[in-house]
């Protein structure tokens, strides 16, 4: 009797039903009136009186185990059938919880401010050739300005690189020849720089370009003034300083009055009251010509700014690396913004 119980117990333990029918067959085999376990109970009368206590206990345990296994496996099948019924394809999708990345928030805001002024979004590839990233933008070969950009070249292809600025999109748009042009190009750029609180090898820029007849520096100033007031607040002042970029002539850098101290002087603006936010200028006639545009008829302006930089200014973030670490304690602070 003891061996029989042990054999059945072993069989029961190893049983795994693959279907409801198999489970029912198992129940019939072991627990139905004519099943193996009731048969053992029938034989119980033959057990010697001194062994009855122990054998009785083992028998009860066997029965209990068989019942338990059936119940447990029944649950599995019940669950899958229930799940099948629960799928209702007409239900609205589950809403995603979480927020936008601060760089996305700012990029969307910049896009919106320029879209309101008639600009449309343009895109270009992140892997660029020398012509679009440099030559067409009036960087002569061996010109020291190329060194300023710490380019990542593609191994074995000296002509192919990761774009170092979104100015390459200017060229891509202009060479299509559809005038006038009024675009902004937000995107990722790459430079071989050591990562620190103020620099990263991947960052984001927005390029702006307007080409038409009779475009002047005054148009550029007005467009950027509108941007600065919309983005940093109506009290914001702007100023332009002369600068140099190969692709613009005249070239300038634009500062905004410090949005932290309102221009009085603080450690963010290094007590000057001003913070530099972008480079800009009138598109150099050489660039227009390289893109097939007659510089005697058309003129234009361009500008470029770093998204990280103005995001740091707007939200008083002091370490650029935070944007790339995906630390939820940082990201959650932007959850409520759109």
**Do the Cβ atoms of 284 and 315 come closer than 8 Å?**
no
Output 26 or 119, the one with its CB closest to ligand DAH.
119
Stretch of 122-130, 217-225, 234-242, 302-310 lying at the interface with ligand DAH (CB under 6 A): 302-310
Any contact of residue 257 with ligand DAH (CB under 6 A)? no
Residue with tokens 């006038």: 180
Output 258 or 287, the one with its CB closest to ligand DAH.
287
Question: Least distance in Å: CB of 146 to ligand DAH?
Answer: 12
Any contact of residue 248 with ligand DAH (CB under 6 A)? yes
Question: Least distance in Å: CB of 218 to ligand DAH?
Answer: 16
Output 263 or 281, the one with its CB closest to ligand DAH.
281
Output 190 or 245, the one with its CB closest to ligand DAH.
245
Q: Is 144 helix (H, G, I), strand (E, B) or coil?
A: helix
Output 189 or 269, the one with its CB closest to ligand DAH.
189
Question: Least distance in Å: CB of 305 to ligand DAH?
Answer: 7
Q: Is the dihedral of CA 255, 261, 265, 269 positive or negative?
A: negative
Does residue 284 have a cis bond before it (omega within 30 degrees)?
no
Dihedral class, residue 116 (left if φ above 0, else alpha if ψ from -120 to 50, else beta): alpha
State the virtual CA torsion across 322, 328, 333, 336 in degrees, nearest 10: 130
152-167 as b/e, with b when 16 or more CB fall inside 10 Å? beeeeeeeebbbbbbb
Residue with tokens 């338990």: 68
DSSP H helical ranges for 93-207: 102-115, 130-133, 167-174
Any contact of residue 290 with ligand DAH (CB under 6 A)? no
Any contact of residue 203 with ligand DAH (CB under 6 A)? no
Task: Provide the mask over 81-110, with x wherever binding to ligand DAH is found by CB under 6 A and - wherever it is not.
Answer: ------------------------------
Question: Interface residues with ligand DAH (CB under 6 A)?
Answer: 165, 167, 207, 245, 248, 279-281, 302-304
């Amino acid at each position: 009797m003891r061996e029989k119980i042990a054999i059945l117990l072993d069989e029961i333990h190893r049983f795994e039903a693959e279907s409801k029918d198999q489970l029912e067959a198992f129940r019939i085999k072991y627990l139905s009136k004519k099943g193996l376990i009731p048969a053992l109970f029938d034989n119980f009368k033959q057990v010697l009186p001194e062994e009855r206590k122990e054998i009785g206990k083992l028998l009860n345990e066997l029965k209990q185990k068989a019942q338990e296994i059936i119940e447990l496996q029944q649950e599995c099948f019940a669950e899958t059938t229930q799940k099948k019924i629960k799928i209702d394809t007409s239900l609205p999708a589950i809403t995603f919880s979480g927020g936008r990345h601060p760089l996305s928030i700012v990029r969307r805001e910049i896009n919106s401010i320029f879209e309101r002024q008639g600009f449309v979004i343009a895109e270009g590839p992140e892997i660029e050739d020398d012509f679009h990233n440099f030559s067409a933008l009036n960087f002569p070969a061996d010109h020291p300005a190329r060194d300023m950009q710490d380019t990542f070249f593609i191994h074995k292809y000296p002509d192919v690189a990761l774009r170092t600025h979104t100015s390459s999109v200017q060229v891509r748009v202009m060479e299509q020849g559809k005038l006038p042009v009024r675009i902004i190009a937000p995107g990722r750029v790459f430079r071989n720089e050591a990562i620190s609180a103020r620099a990263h090898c991947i960052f984001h820029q927005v390029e702006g370009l307007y080409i038409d007849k009779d475009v002047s520096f005054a148009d550029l100033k007005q467009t950027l003034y509108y941007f600065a007031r919309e983005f940093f607040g109506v009290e914001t002042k702007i100023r332009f300083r002369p600068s140099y970029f190969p692709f613009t002539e005249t070239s300038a850098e634009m500062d905004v009055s410090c949005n932290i101290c309102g221009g009085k002087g603080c450690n963010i603006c290094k007590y000057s009251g001003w913070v530099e936010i972008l480079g800009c200028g009138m598109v150099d006639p050489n660039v227009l010509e390289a893109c097939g545009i007659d510089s005697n008829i058309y003129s234009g302006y361009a500008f470029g700014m770093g998204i990280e930089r103005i995001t740091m200014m707007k939200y008083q973030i002091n370490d650029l690396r935070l944007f790339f670490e995906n630390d939820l304690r940082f990201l959650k602070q932007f959850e409520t913004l759109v």
